[in-house]
Amino acid sequence: MEQTDLLRLAVITLERLRIPYMLVGSYASSVWGEARFTQDIDILVDLRLDRVAELCAAFPVPEFYFSEQAARDAVRLRSQFNVIHPPSGNKIDFMLPRGDDWSLEQLGRYRTEQFEGGIAVQVASPEDVIVSKMIYYNEGGSEKHLRDCAGILRVQEGRIELDYIAKWAQRFRLIDVWNVILERVKED
């Protein structure tokens, strides 16, 4: 199963179950910026405990590895869980919203984009992808997050709400990271 097939299955399932979702992470940054290889698909889901079993049933064993208990724990803790397709090694990381003001706001800002094969996918806005990448950079220091942010700004030049990003950078104490990204874009 290719990544695009796994993404298609996830989107069809989430829409059928009416679970609010949006594509985030490197897949989303590739939509808005410069494409790069990613080993997994990151999807933010607003999942409730009473919907976990239905979601789990859409990814049956032995074709998939999906721990219903891990999903239940993730819903309770507002963390993440995954679904793995062992034969291909492809994986989805399902992430729960953090529960803060930004998480609530970003859920309403997604954009629907057409993907290969005609599937419509709800994708985090480019601004929210940048904010999340700044948070990840601050937590782990991986350069790829800064490159992704700069790539989005270059590709989407003039179409980005810079004030929105600056507001959340200030709120999350990431203004230094934001300034580094802006400098990188100026240098290119």
106 and 43 together in one domain: yes
82 with 164, same domain: the answer is: no
Same domain, 43 and 117: yes
- How many angstroms separate the Cα of 107 from the Cα of each of 16, 34, 98, 114? 18, 23, 11, 19
Where is the domain boundary, 123, 140, 165? Answer: 123
Q: Is the pLDDT of residue 98 over 90?
A: no
Residue 182's pLDDT is 94
Residues 106 and 167 in one domain: no
Do both 138 and 117 map to the same domain?
Answer: no
Phi, psi of 87 (to 5 degrees): -60, -35
Letter for the amino acid at 66?
Answer: F
Please tell me whether residues 59 and 133 are part of one structural domain: no
Cβ density class 70-90: b for 16+ within 10 Å, e for less: bbbebbeeeebbbbbbeeeeb
8 Å CB contact between 110 and 132? no
DSSP β-ladder status, 80-85 and 40-45 = unpaired
Question: Within this chain, do residues 78 and 95 fall inside the same structural domain, yes or no?
Answer: yes
CA distance 182 to 31: 20
Give the residue numbers spanning the domain of 61.
3-123
Do 177 and 133 share a domain, yes or no? yes
Mean pLDDT for the stretch of residues 80-104: 93
Considering its fold, how many domains does the chain have in total? 2
Single out the residue in 75, 103, 123 at which a domain terminates.
123
The answer to whether residues 111 and 132 belong to one domain is no
pTM of the model: 0.91
Task: Looking at the structure, tell me whether residues 117 and 130 fall in a common domain.
Answer: no
- pLDDT digit string (tens) for 37-91? 777 999 999 999 999 999 999 999 889 999 999 999 999 999 999 999 999 999 9
Cα–Cα distance list, 176 to 11, 137, 142 (Å): 36, 12, 15
Task: Give 180 or 36, the one with higher predicted confidence.
Answer: 180
DSSP per-residue codes, 121-143: EEE--HHHHHHHHHHHHHHH--H
Q: Looking at 67, 98, 123, which one is the last position of a domain?
A: 123
For the chain, the straight-line distance linking the first and the last C-alpha, in angstroms and rounded, comes to: 38
pLDDT value for 141: 79
Q: Are residues 37 and 101 in the same domain?
A: yes
- The confidence score (pLDDT) of residue 117 equals 77
Determine the Cα angle at 142 with ends 136 and 147, to 5°.
Answer: 90
Q: Are residues 105 and 42 in the same domain?
A: yes
